[in-house]
Amino acid sequence: MTPDLSAPIAPDVLTLPRKLPGGMAPNLVGLTRDQLRDALIAAGTPERQAKMRVGQIWQWIYHWGIRDFTAMTNLAKDYRSLLAEKFVIELPEIVTRQVSADGTRKYLLRIAGGHEVEAVYIPEETRGTLCISSQVGCTLTCSFCHTGTQRLVRNLTAAEIVGQVMVARDDLGEWPVPGAPKDETRLISNVVLMGMGEPLYNFENVRDAMKVVTDGEGISISRRRITLSTSGVVPEIARTAEEIGCLLAVSFHATTDEVRDRLVPVNRKWNLEALLAALRDYPRLSNSERITFEYVMLKGVNDSDADARRLVKLIAGIPAKINLIPFNEWPGAPYERSDWERIEAFADIIYKAGYASPIRTPRGEDIMAACGQLKSATERQRRSRAEIVADDGL
């Protein structure tokens, strides 16, 4: 059943019972087709049947949203029992779901180890966007971002990344009903990797998860409707074009290295010049159109006319859209949102230079669901990158 998303719903909190996920059996969710094939063979599926079984199981999980092996009726009973014995189909657990007055839904999800991440669904008139997380917390410490104040706990697995899309589909009632006429309207038409974490510090899992989400026989969201946002992890940008091929957004936020060093500290490693060089190659490598430059408007920090003019000069020659994001406040934030007139004057300079410069309306502010406001309670000591990478085998 499709919920009525147009009706404003008063903020509410749905609290579901907490249950720690995690049996010992491997989870089929998040495996690429090749990985699924290997897993099935290892569990005793004859090699010559493996491809067909992958196709069947894939459809059950990602087209129909089935979680129970016994419901996979085109598989022999014995085979279903074998699958149920060897594997699980497991998603993150919804701990709370908050619904904003504007219809935005924020999910707090519990994943293995008792960690928590957030995902946000933003309904709009002609589309619906799901904003998903790639890490618990973030290793980077952008000074205007709430997530940046939360220490990184770990990278999400591909299963946990795909799982966010599946959980939201569950909540929105978006799986097809067998026998019902095919419904082409999509509640989740777009996915943005703009939640917690830096996706390019979790490259392989993000890539594999996107392989699953874009697969035409399953969730089938085109890679042109997926936008990955990075703070500027330059060495992974070409790989993103080649191995994921989605749209790219970059958290630009400043027009001089001096200011960007302060706002987006990863700039000390890869400065504006290095970042811009990587961005120039992206549209060709990914065969995509425009790069989105995200620019958070911070009062008196990066919002002058001179900044706007420098911005236009810096990105000259790159097919671009500039997304101005009024700063979203969070408790203890060291910045203020630029005044509206300032944002409009800034937008005007960019527009006159020939760029689309939409000002992003904050969504779900009343439930702290807007850009940069996500932060879950999970905290742990900051760990080295080596430890995080080692943990990826989870």
Is residue 118 close enough to count as binding ligand SAH by CB under 6 A?
Answer: no
Q: How far is the CB of 266 from ligand SF4 (least distance, A)?
A: 7
**CA separation (Å) from 73 to 36, 49, 133, 386?**
19, 17, 34, 44
Q: Which is nearer to ligand SF4, 32 or 141 (CB)?
A: 141
Is 371 annotated in the active site?
yes
Is residue 137 close enough to count as binding ligand SAH by CB under 6 A?
Answer: no
Tokens of 133: 């997380």
Report the distance separating Cα 145 and Cα 373, nearest Å: 7
**One symbol per residue from 213 to 252: x for binding ligand SAH (CB under 6 A), - otherwise; what is it?**
----------------xxx-------------------x-
**Which member of 92, 123, 283, 372 binds ligand SAH (CB under 6 A)?**
372
Residues 146-205 that bind ligand SAH (CB under 6 A): 194, 197-198
Q: How far is the CB of 267 from ligand SF4 (least distance, A)?
A: 11
Report the distance separating Cα 169 and Cα 177, nearest Å: 13
Cα dihedral 28, 22, 112, 64 in deg (nearest 10) = 40
Q: Which is nearer to ligand SF4, 99 or 142 (CB)?
A: 142
Q: Are strands 135-136 and 128-131 parallel, antiparallel or unpaired?
A: unpaired
Residues 164-203 that bind ligand SF4 (CB under 6 A): 197-198
**Which member of 122, 291, 296, 350 binds ligand SAH (CB under 6 A)?**
296
Question: What angle do helix axes 305-314 and 340-352 make, rounded to 10 degrees?
Answer: 30
Which residue among the candidates 118, 160, 198, 294 is catalytic per the annotation?
118
Q: How far is the CB of 117 from ligand SF4 (least distance, A)?
A: 12
Is residue 294 close enough to count as binding ligand SAH by CB under 6 A?
Answer: yes
Question: What angle do helix axes 158-172 and 203-214 make, rounded to 10 degrees?
Answer: 40
Cα dihedral 109, 113, 114, 119 in deg (nearest 10) = -20
Residues 321-340 that bind ligand SAH (CB under 6 A): 325, 327-328
Say if residue 114 is exposed, middle or buried (CB neighbours under 10 Å; 0-12, 13-18, 19+).
Answer: exposed
Residues 167, 120: contact at Cβ < 8 Å?
Answer: no
Residues 303, 346: contact at Cβ < 8 Å?
Answer: yes
**Which member of 91, 119, 132, 140 binds ligand SF4 (CB under 6 A)?**
140
Residues 315, 293: contact at Cβ < 8 Å?
Answer: yes
Is residue 251 close enough to count as binding ligand SF4 by CB under 6 A?
Answer: yes
Is residue 138 close enough to count as binding ligand SF4 by CB under 6 A?
Answer: yes
**Positions marked catalytic:** 118, 371
Chain residues in the site for ligand SAH (CB under 6 A): 142, 144-145, 194, 197-198, 229-231, 251, 294, 296, 325, 327-328, 371-372
